[in-house]
Amino acid sequence: MRRRAALAALALFASAAAAAPDPAPDARQRWQESPHGAMLERILPDAIAPAKLPQPASRGARLARRYCVQCHNLPNPAMHERAKWAGIVERMVWRMQGRGNMGELMQDLMAGVAAPDAEDARVLTRYLERNAQQGIDAARYPDLDGDAGKSFRLACAQCHVLPDPRRHTAQEWPGVVARMQRNMQWMNRVVGSRPDAREPQLRVTEIVGFLQRHAR
């Protein structure tokens, strides 16, 4: 009898959890409508749909969907290497606690922002670490010093660690590089689109060639 009551209570809890409203659209609307929305929107591209997060039903993914969309687009765990995530989460939690150094801007926004407790922050960090990007092992690629390798290093280490070419197949790389070109425009990183000797050029053909030569 008691067991049945406990099960019923559990079922009730589960359905309440399933019906809990998704806070992300509200949060997104709040930052987009803030006078600084345009700037916040450009911090990260809208590159990963919530359902495409790795292990989408895990606690880590749920926490990312809840906390990490309050000021900018959802971050992709694969953006950064393992070693970077703990520091980033620490900086972000500090911002969520209203201690960010973006003064006025964060104050406008902070009213509706929630911060994870220490345990949730740990789960979130471990989730991001588990699904992190793998940096290249430079010692294995002597041709990183060649022309194509140089173009790759110049372009692809601006926002995250220089990626491991074995992350993708030769077929996949052109699509990933095309998305990165869009990320570069979105995030306002300076890359020359017209030949100009004074500016680093984005040599897409060379970069894709390098990645495909060493692909998975």
The only residue of 61, 155, 161, 210 in contact with ligand HEC, by rule CB under 6 A = 155
Q: Which is nearer to ligand HEC, 158 or 201 (CB)?
A: 158
Closest by Cα among 99, 209, 193, 191 to 149:
209
Query: Min. distance of Cβ 26 from ligand HEC in angstroms?
Result: 13
Which residues in 45-64 contact ligand HEC (CB under 6 A)? 45, 47-48
53: tokens are 């997060």
The only residue of 136, 163, 203, 214 in contact with ligand HEC, by rule CB under 6 A = 163
Q: Is 22 left (phi over 0), alpha (psi -120 to 50) or beta?
A: beta
d(CA 92, CA 64): 12
Question: Candidates 16-24, 74-82, 136-144, 192-200 — which segment interacts with ligand HEC by CB under 6 A?
Answer: 74-82
Instruction: Locate the DSSP E strands across 83-185.
Output: none
- Verify binding: residue 88, ligand HEC, rule CB under 6 A: yes
Question: Candidates 5-13, 51-59, 158-166, 193-201 — which segment interacts with ligand HEC by CB under 6 A?
Answer: 158-166
d(CA 156, CA 214): 15
CA dihedral defined by 17, 21, 25, 30, rounded to 10 degrees? -110
- Verify binding: residue 207, ligand HEC, rule CB under 6 A: yes
Q: Where are the alpha helices (DSSP H) in the chain?
A: 2-19, 24-33, 37-41, 59-67, 82-94, 103-110, 118-130, 147-156, 173-186, 204-213
The only residue of 96, 132, 136, 161 in contact with ligand HEC, by rule CB under 6 A = 96
Q: Which is nearer to ligand HEC, 9 or 159 (CB)?
A: 159
d(CA 71, CA 41): 8
The only residue of 65, 160, 203, 214 in contact with ligand HEC, by rule CB under 6 A = 160
- Verify binding: residue 133, ligand HEC, rule CB under 6 A: yes
DSSP symbol at 97: I
Q: Residues with Cβ < 8 Å from 107, sequence gap 6 or more?
A: 98
Query: Min. distance of Cβ 195 from ligand HEC in angstroms?
Result: 18
CA 196 to chain centre: 31
Contact residues: ligand HEC, CB under 6 A: 43-45, 47-48, 67-68, 70-72, 75-76, 78-79, 88-89, 91-92, 95-96, 102, 113, 124, 133, 155-156, 158-160, 163, 167, 176-177, 179-180, 183-184, 187, 189, 207
